[in-house]
Amino acid sequence: MPDENGLSDNAAGALAYVTIIPAIIFLVVAPYNTKPFVKFHAWQSIFLGIAAFALGIIGIIPILGWIILFLGMIAIFIAWIIAILKASKGELFKLPVIGALAAKQAGV
């Protein structure tokens, strides 16, 4: 059900994964910063972005780094798609490792 301010929790959770900018906005702007579901998905999106950035740094290393970057980015892309779909359905889907960090930050 849409909030009186426009976005439902499901839509806000899925929108948090679009880029890091909506995720940060949802952590700062009321009423979304008080909703554990939205906060969880915003934090998980931020941690997923940090993981992608770390893979980019590893990708600087010739050959082995490139292989790790390629396989890691495929895995992150798949995790990103799954997270968006689960958030849009209203599910609290925890990705391995970063899901626990996001849950701790969101208080879920």
Q: Judge if pTM exceeds 0.75.
A: yes
pLDDT per 10-residue tile (average), the chain, 108 residues = 71 94 93 93 96 96 96 97 96 94 93
DSSP letter at 29 equals S
82 assigned to some structural domain: yes
For residue 47, give the DSSP letter.
H
The pair of three-digit structure tokens given for residue 41, joined into one six-digit string: 């998905």
41 belongs to a structural domain = yes
Q: What range defines the domain where residue 71 resides?
A: 9-106
How many separate domains does the chain show? 1
Please report, in angstroms and rounded to a whole number, the separation of the first and last CA atoms in the chain: 21
Asked if 106 and 36 count as a contact pair (C-beta separation under 8 A), the reply is yes
